[in-house]
Structure 1
């Protein structure tokens, strides 16, 4: 009997042990096509709480219902050593995208990552400006892990011995198909917390899952029209006179300009900052800002949030800051209302109230050597890790609130974001400067729920300058960042004419860009996104085997995936394929369907791989059959509230086209009260040429559309 009792005790202990490890996941459909899963006891602070993201339930409902994309029993969760382990199934032909803002790769299957807010260091390892714990499958679903912790991911790399799809072991000595990376049938995720919230987003298409994720986070931000114009960031120690001279030169030379960025020198002290104007460079800030606004120029101010002892609110905020400093500046605990009030009141009273239109929020990402260490403490009790993962979110959220309370839209720059930050008025940038990688980041931004600008700073040649400028025009923020170089659009005389053409093209395309950002807000469609999300695109990666492998140096070398990471979709109709320095020709993969040259309207191909030689004067851009691109005159400034502009409606291809053109006042949040309209453009070819119509303006709604002309691009 004693032996039996001992055996029963052992069995009970084992049962308790395994029950503690294996966790049932409680799934609840919280919106059409969106499910929330609970594992263990999630932490009270997470990405969604930090960002304050509010789902757009009306838009999610409009997307319609969809089936849960997994067999619930196929998703596994367990708790071990105070950490949560998650396992999601993978099919053999399934590709993965996302896991944050990556710069060198689009396909993420086979990666091992630690999703960790950091300045990008040249390798896609999870340490990046927006390490969003969200991934998309080519099978048409998405998964989001709502945690403010560093998340480890094995994206189809670990092979469990109890796997239902365990590969057949091969003999490397005799079998040339042996692989150092055997097939794995799961995405495994480790969260260093005793519980977590997980969200699953249905498709049926991958783009549908992306839309649901964006709408769940409130929808993308709708910038003011001026935010989609051209911006020039001036040198660090520019004075009011320097800025005025530069603005006047833009006008004299006929270059568009909507907002100017002032770098650290606008402050009396920076690194750490005082958040007050330097009186030697800006003797009368209020008059300076007013003078710029009268010229049609907004001002955007650089800052990082680290408080100098010389700041007017330093003593008050000091008890509400971290145990560690950044550049000897105090780090406000922005999760505390009092700390936020002190910090953001200074910005409001000293800058926004006199007419400053936005901010560039720097250095909230990393590196480790200057940001607070993980041993730092914060008065709220949040860990240094949680603060690092969310500090960019907090800065975006509460700076945006200043403008929202004024019913004034803004558009700025930030160095860090994360899950939940889709609805914020900020575009990510960094100090890295690889043109090819900048385009890959632009592609991946659509998988991460963020915006990215491939900014232009300086170049070694006129060719490089033009190629960078061209792709910058086809991005969320067209910007020269001359804080150090002092470059201007005309700094390279040999390509000045072409640069000016593209600067004006940016302005001509504003009705198209503005509508595509409205779709981002109301429908969740990223304005710039991977070609992998386009219907008719072949998503299968090709394997390439290098013939120059040194097995002594790399004994596990094998075929690598060849992926398309240098072309992308811009809005509903445009495919952009940038050229890089030294390129004369390039290949472009066209999805199924007829495509036409943006500049000439000439047919170029249908579901084919084409080789093009565009010349230096053009960035290759192609338009879908039936594509409608609304254009306006190449103004030097974005239209003001109430200003009407004439439109040229360009039509490409053969089949009838329909486009919903968005309109509102362009600057306020009155669209949230219904003050907006969608004007339907319809175009079709007939025996007598082109027939185009536009729906009538809605009564008591903004109407900024003047005269309309219709242009048949494909003759």
Structure 2
């Protein structure tokens, strides 16, 4: 009997052990409308959402459509073994995947093997990028987010299990020409180097709805100040106070708009590593200089990196709260610790923010491996080097933004790294990589990553390239020339100076539209710049079928959509932007189903077809969907101040009756969080061959910055 009992216990022990090696189902809890959280193992306390500190925007989520769990729950499995968590998500044959961070060369992510790792982008979409957000969405209308501050390995439909529910067909390479070295896989698999993790699943019903839910879970997208959507010029790195004043004066005299100027490393007494103190030889009176620029309606933004020079005033006090390794001989503050944050961000406030500096450019918080702290580094908080690498950019954004928030003063800055949870931060990503085409692909992908990206303009070989870069930059989150090395100006190429001015003025004219679209980003989670695959009527995004034969004579549109569409994108509710690159005189544009019209002339362009356009050098191709309403204001050199009223011209395209939600607030503070804002509905239609337009009145006690409203039919009545 004892022998049998021992045998029974051994069998139980064996099955208990082997059960731990098999896939486990996950219990799911609906934490917000259409958002479910699952937990496997023991998740780490230090994760992306906690570091980012965002709170779900409940009001926005409550307005989302009700939805059921979008995947077969029993097919989402995982197990914890050897201190690692293995995850698997089902994948249908015709699904396409998007996301997995800020990618620069590819939009379709199915079939990719990635390691999601914060890094400076080095020319390959392998997961090492400025924002390796562990979030993906499917063309089937759902999303998945892995809440881990770890380097996550992703097999996005590449690995085939022997017990696969839908195994690939076995083929003979010798005789079968359809044999592929990449057989069909029915799963997305991930490896998280931790003993547990939180998983979030987002319902649709559309892919855009899944993206919206992700952004709203993180507090909604950022709402920049109006001046942040104007034009910015970053100065040559050793410019002094007189040079900045002269630059601002030249912009005004030549009639180019300018809202904020960026000061590069030379504002500090030393950089690489940094002292965070003004260089008094170049800026002898910082407060007087900053205030003088503000009187001229010019805001100032300061470059910095976080690596503390031995010559910095805070060096000794922050030394006990720094990591084991240096970067450029500067110590790395452990800003995950309150003690380090108080010293470090206090220094960024003292003598900078408190004298009127409007924002920061946070450089070098991404990579690369040959100069950043290594993964063997240690930090006094106990968080390891990997966790710090994945979250340093998030923390730099969060804690500077909190300073401004406490002052009830909005900011808009630049950063080199972000990650999951950072959607609400008022920062735009940039880098040192400078391929124009890849810049546009990054802009397309930014909407899947919960970040903003600017295809900044730095230098060009020809006037043509300069203008082409400038045109696409105007249709992006931050219209910016970065002259830190070249010293270039908007007028540096005289042969295209007037065209550049026209584009810069257009940016200012369109501010009511841009501002309203960013408000929708905040309140509704809709990315202001996003991929065509998130637009209704755009057919495409299914996984490529190698065996499919396409009759191009019958349907040339079908050929276009089987390839990645990564060089055109949606800008706001109504605009489709299709940049032209240096050397091009024409290009193809894929129009979604529905009538589309030329932005500049209002002429009909097409309906659900591929068109070939030759816009000339002066224009970037832009199209407006039928019923498109674009609110415009007069050309101004600076964004309107709080309470400044402007005339509004409502431009209307096509013939379909339409509405538009125009957003208004003071443009500078966070009072909108307390309800001090308004959405006014613009309604436009054609009645008996005449244009009829109305706008709802401003509510009593709410912002009203509109002096007058006029309506203009861009398409012939």
CA distance in 1, matches of 2:593, 2:82: 50
| Secondary structure in 1 matching 2:326 | coil
| 1:140-539 pair list within 5 angstroms | 140-539=141-540
CA distance in 2, matches of 1:580, 1:285: 41
2:299–2:358 CA contact under 8 A, matched in 1: yes
Aligned to 1:565: 566
Identify the range of structure 1 (12-21 vs 701-710) with the bigger mean alpha-carbon deviation.
Answer: 12-21
| Secondary structure in 1 matching 2:20 | helix
1:358–1:411 CA contact under 8 A, matched in 2: yes
Identify the range of structure 1 (145-154 vs 682-691) with the bigger mean alpha-carbon deviation.
Answer: 682-691
Aligned to 1:557: none
Measure how far apart 1:540 and its partner are: 3.9
1:541–1:563 CA contact under 8 A, matched in 2: no
Measure how far apart 1:20 and its partner are: 2.2
Aligned to 1:29: 30
Aligned to 2:550: none
| Secondary structure in 2 matching 1:684 | strand
2:225–2:412 CA contact under 8 A, matched in 1: yes
CA RMSD of aligned residues (A): 1.3
Aligned to 2:645: 644
Aligned to 1:17: 17
Measure how far apart 1:10 and its partner are: 4.3
CA distance in 2, matches of 1:653, 1:339: 57
Aligned to 2:556: none
CA deviations 1:99-136 (Å, max 9, x no partner) are 00000000000000000000001000000000000000
CA distance in 1, matches of 2:543, 2:116: 27
Measure how far apart 1:328 and its partner are: 0.7
**TM, length-normalised to structure 1:** 0.97
CA distance in 2, matches of 1:516, 1:368: 37
1:642–1:704 CA contact under 8 A, matched in 2: yes
CA deviations 1:300-356 (Å, max 9, x no partner) are 000000001111111000000000011110101011111000011111112000000
| Secondary structure in 1 matching 2:85 | strand
Aligned to 1:551: none
Tell me how many residue pairs correspond in the alignment.
701
Aligned to 1:556: none
| 1:110-149 pair list within 5 angstroms | 110-149=111-150
**TM, length-normalised to structure 2:** 0.96
Aligned to 1:631: 632
Measure how far apart 1:209 and its partner are: 0.3
CA distance in 2, matches of 1:64, 1:616: 44
CA deviations 1:494-549 (Å, max 9, x no partner) are 1111100000000000000000000000000000000000011111469699xxxx
2:229–2:514 CA contact under 8 A, matched in 1: yes
Aligned to 1:107: 108
CA distance in 1, matches of 2:400, 2:521: 21
CA deviations 1:339-375 (Å, max 9, x no partner) are 0000111111120000000000000000001110000
1:23–1:79 CA contact under 8 A, matched in 2: no
CA distance in 2, matches of 1:542, 1:200: 21
Aligned to 1:601: 602
CA distance in 1, matches of 2:698, 2:621: 35
CA distance in 1, matches of 2:629, 2:35: 32
2:139–2:542 CA contact under 8 A, matched in 1: no
Measure how far apart 1:80 and its partner are: 1.5
Identify the range of structure 1 (215-224 vs 4-13) with the bigger mean alpha-carbon deviation.
Answer: 4-13
Measure how far apart 1:13 and its partner are: 2.8
2:268–2:275 CA contact under 8 A, matched in 1: yes
- Runs of at least 5 residues in structure 2 that lack an aligned partner in the other structure: 547-560
Aligned to 1:548: none
2:323–2:331 CA contact under 8 A, matched in 1: yes
2:94–2:542 CA contact under 8 A, matched in 1: no
Aligned to 1:8: 8
1:654–1:685 CA contact under 8 A, matched in 2: yes
Structure 1 residues 56 and 343: alpha-carbon distance in aligned structure 2, compared to 1, 3 A threshold: same
| Secondary structure in 1 matching 2:332 | coil
- Runs of at least 5 residues in structure 1 that lack an aligned partner in the other structure: 546-559
| 1:37-52 pair list within 5 angstroms | 37-52=38-53
CA distance in 2, matches of 1:531, 1:225: 26
